[in-house]
A and B are shown apart, each in its own frame.
Chain A
Amino acid sequence: MAELHLKSHRFRAEREADWLRLERLLDRVERGGAAKLSRQELMDLPALYQQALSSLSVARSISLDLALVDYLESLCTRAYFIVYGVRSRLRERAADFFLRAWPAAVRSLWRETLVSASITALGAVCAYVLVQRDPSWFYAVVPQNLSEGRGPDATTAFLRSTLYAAPSARDALGVLAAFLFTHNAQVALFAFALGVACCLPTAALMVDNGGVLGAFLALFISRGLGLPAAGWLLIHGVTELFAVTLAGAAGFSVGWAVAFPGARGRLEAIGQAGRRGAVVMAGVVVMLIAAGLLEGFARQLIRQDAVRLAVAAVTALVWVLYFYLPRRGARS
C-alpha cells in the first residue's frame, strides 16, 4: 500500500503543515501578545484562520477521525478569539477612555446621578436633624473607626484641633492617603455591585454615606465650627462624594435594568447597563485616587479655611465642566 488510500488522510496530509504553522503563531500571540509577530506573520494569521475554518467544515463532512475534528475545533476557536479579538494599543484606549468614553458614560447616567445625589442628601439631612435634636444619635450613625474620638462628648478645643492637627507619625501622609483610597474604592465597588439586587442595597449605602456627612456637620456646627469643618471636609469631599455618587448611579442603572428591562431582553439590558457602569467605575477609581491624594496631602498641608474652600470649589468646577460640558462629536 504505497499510496494514501483514505481520502480523509490525503486531505489531512495536504493541510497539516498550515495547521501546525497557525498553532505555533497562536502559541506565540497567547504568550506575548500580537506585538511579537512580524508584519508578514500578522498578515498570514487571518488567512491561516480562514483556511483552518474551511478545513474544519470539510473535515466534519468527509472525515470520521474524531481526534482530527476535535483538534480543528480547538484550533479554530483559539484562532477566532485572536483574529476577532484584536484591540487597539493601550495608549489609544486610555486616550479614548478619558476623552470620550468616560465622560459620555457619566453623562448618559445623569438621571441616576441625580437620584443617587438626592438619596445621599436625604441621608445627610436626616442625620443632621437627628443629631441636632439628640446628640447621642451621632454614635448610631458614625462608626467607631471613623469618628476617632470626635463625638458629642469631645471638647470644642479637641474638635478644633482635629481640623488643623499636624499629622501624627502613625497617620503619615502617604499611609493615610493609601488607606483612604483603598477603603473608599472598595465601598464604591460595593455600591456598584449591590445595584444588581434591584437598587435597594445601593440606596441603603448612599443613605449611610450621607448620614455620616450630616452627623459630622451637625456636631461641628453645634460648636460653631461650621465653616472650618466644611473646608476640612470639602477639600477632598467634593471629589470623593461625587465619585461615590457616580458609583451609586452606576449601581442604580444596573438595578433598574434588572427590574425594568424595557423593550430589550432582560439579559441584554443588564449587560449593557453593566458594561456602561464598568466604564463609569473605572473612572470612579481614578477620582478616588485624586480624592485620596487631596485628603492625605492637600488637607494636611493647607491650614487656611479660605484656601481649603477655594480648592474645593475649583475641583467641583473642574469635574462638572469635564463631565457635562457639551463637546463636539458627542452625539455619535
Chain B
Amino acid sequence: MSLAFDPRPRKTRPDRAPDDGWREFITPEGVDLRLRIGSYMERCAAFALDLAIMAVVLVGFSLVALVTLWSSPGDTGIQIIEIIWLLGFFLLRNFYLVIFEMRPGGATPGKRALGLRVVTRDGGRLTADAVFARNAMREIEFFLPAIFFLARGQGIDAALIGLGAIWSGVFLFFPLFNRDRLRLGDLAAGTMVVRTPKRVLAPDLSESSRASHRRASFTDAQLDAYGIKELQVLEQVLRSGERQAITEVARRIRRKIDWQGGLELSDRSFLSDYYTELRARLESRLLFGHRRADKFDRP
C-alpha cells in the first residue's frame, strides 16, 4: 500500500471572492441582517478618540484637584486628592470602556462616533464577562506595546526592549491577520466589532416625481435599457443631488434611450421621471419573478 495515497477527500480551498466585509447575521426569526465588519482604521480611530476623551477627563480632573489643593492647605487635602487621582486613573484606564460597552448601545463614545458597535459572534447577547474579557486584553494589545515603545535603554537593555517591541507588536497588529478583524480581546470574548450606522428614513424618490407637473413618458423599449444595478446607481445620483453628476448621467441616459423629447425638461426632473418609470417597470416584473440584475441581463 502506498503511503502517499490518502483515502480522505482533499479539502480544496474554494476560490474566495475579494472580501467586501459583509457578514451574514441571521436572527432567530430567520432574517439575514447583513452586518459589515468594522475596519482596522475605523477601530484605531475610535480607540484614539476614546484615549483622547480619557486624557481630557484626567487632565480636567487633575486641574480641579489642584485648585482644591491650593484652597485647602494641610496634609489631609493632599492625601485625599492623591487617593482620588490614583483611583480615578485606574478606573478610567480599566472601566471607562467596559461601562460604555455594557450599556444597551454596546459602544464607547469613540465607537459611537464612528458608527461601530460590539456584538457577539454567535448573535447572542453581549454579557458583562465578555465585555470585561475583551477590554482586559487591551493591557497587552495597547499598553504593553506602549511600554516597550516608550522604554529607553543602553546595550543589552536596548536589545531586549527592541525584541519586546517586536513581540508585543504582534498583539497590536493581530487584527490585520484575520478576515473578521478580530483583536485578541475579541478572540478571548467571542465578540466582533461591526458597523451599524444610524440611518434616517429618506423620502421616496418616486414621490417627488409625482409631485412635479410635467411628466415625461417613456416607451417600453426605452425602459428596457437598464436593470436593477443601474436603477440603484441612478437613485444614489439623485439622492446626492450633485449638479455635475446629474447633468452627466442625464446626458448619457438620453443618448442611450434615444430620447426625442428635447431639452425643455430639466435634467433633474427628467432623471426623476425616468427613475420612477424604470422602478415601476422593474418592480412589476420582480413580482412576476423576473429579477433583472443589470443592463446586460437581457430577458
Contact = CB atoms under 8 A, between A and B. Distances in A.
Interface of A: 1, 5-9, 12, 16, 19-20, 23, 29-30, 33-34, 50, 53, 56-57, 61-68, 70-71, 73-78, 80-82, 84-87, 93, 169, 172, 174-175, 177-179, 181-182, 185-186, 189-190, 192-194, 196-197, 254, 267-268, 270-279, 281-282
B286 interface: yes
24 contacts: A6-B280, A7-B283, A19-B201, A20-B201, A53-B31, A62-B283, A64-B282, A65-B204, A74-B199, A75-B199, A81-B126, A172-B75, A175-B83, A192-B139, A193-B136, A193-B140, A196-B140, A196-B171, A271-B188, A271-B190, A274-B190, A275-B129, A278-B130, A282-B132
A55 to B, nearest CB: 10
A174 B81 CA distance: 11
B235 interface: yes
Given A19-B201, A85-B126, A87-B125, A50 B29 contact: yes
A27 to B, nearest CB: 9
Contacts of A179: 86
Contact of A81 (B34, B83, B106, B235): B106
A272 B276 CA distance: 52
Nearest to A1: B210
A117 B188 CA distance: 23
Nearest to A289: B87
B82 to A, nearest CB: 5
A64 B286 contact: yes
B202 interface: yes
Interface in B69-124: 75, 79-80, 82-83, 86-87, 89-90, 94, 103-106, 117, 119, 121, 123-124
Contacts of A182: 86-87, 89-90
Contacts of B31: 53, 56-57, 76
Contacts of B239: 67
A80 B236 CA distance: 27
A34 B104 CA distance: 8
B266 interface: no
Nearest to A66: B232
Given A6-B283, A33-B103, A67-B235, A274 B201 contact: no
Contact of A193 (B29, B35, B104, B139): B139
B138 to A, nearest CB: 8
B283 A8 contact: yes
A23 B199 CA distance: 10
Contacts of B33: 73, 76-77, 80
For chain B, what secondary structure do more than half of its interface residues adopt (helix, strand, loop), or is it mixed? helix
Contact of B204 (A7, A9, A178, A190): A9
Given A73-B34, A76-B33, A275-B133, A175 B79 contact: yes
A88 B297 CA distance: 53
Residue in A85, A190, A254, A268 whose Cβ sees the most chain B Cβ within 10 Å: A85
Interface string B8-49: 000000000000000001011101011100000000000000
Contacts of B27: 53, 76, 80, 84
Interface in B255-290: 276, 279-280, 282-284, 286-287
Contacts of A181: 87, 90
A64 B140 contact: no
Contact of B199 (A70, A268, A271): A70
A271 B191 CA distance: 8
A277 B280 contact: no
A204 to B, nearest CB: 12
A194 B198 CA distance: 36
Closest 8 CB pairs of A and B: A274-B188, A271-B190, A278-B133, A278-B132, A182-B90, A278-B129, A193-B139, A274-B133
A279 B286 contact: no
A77 B196 contact: yes
Given A65-B235, A81-B119, 10 more contacts: A5-B280, A65-B205, A77-B35, A80-B27, A81-B104, A84-B28, A182-B87, A182-B89, A190-B144, A274-B130
A189 B94 contact: yes
B172 interface: no
A174 B80 contact: yes
B104 A68 contact: no
Contacts of A62: 283, 286-287
A178 B197 CA distance: 41
Given A67-B239, A77-B35, A174-B79, A282 B129 contact: yes
Given A65-B235, A190-B140, A12 B104 contact: no
Contact of B106 (A7, A63, A85, A275): A85
B187 interface: yes
B51 interface: no
Contacts of A196: 137, 140, 171, 184, 187-188
A12 B207 CA distance: 11
A276 B210 CA distance: 60
B246 interface: no
A207 to B, nearest CB: 17
Contact of A169 (B75, B188, B189, B231): B75
Contacts of B1: none
A65 B235 CA distance: 8
A175 B104 contact: no
Contacts of B210: 1, 5
Contact of A9 (B130, B132, B197, B206): B206
Contacts of A84: 27-28, 123-125
A142 B29 CA distance: 60
B204 A68 contact: yes
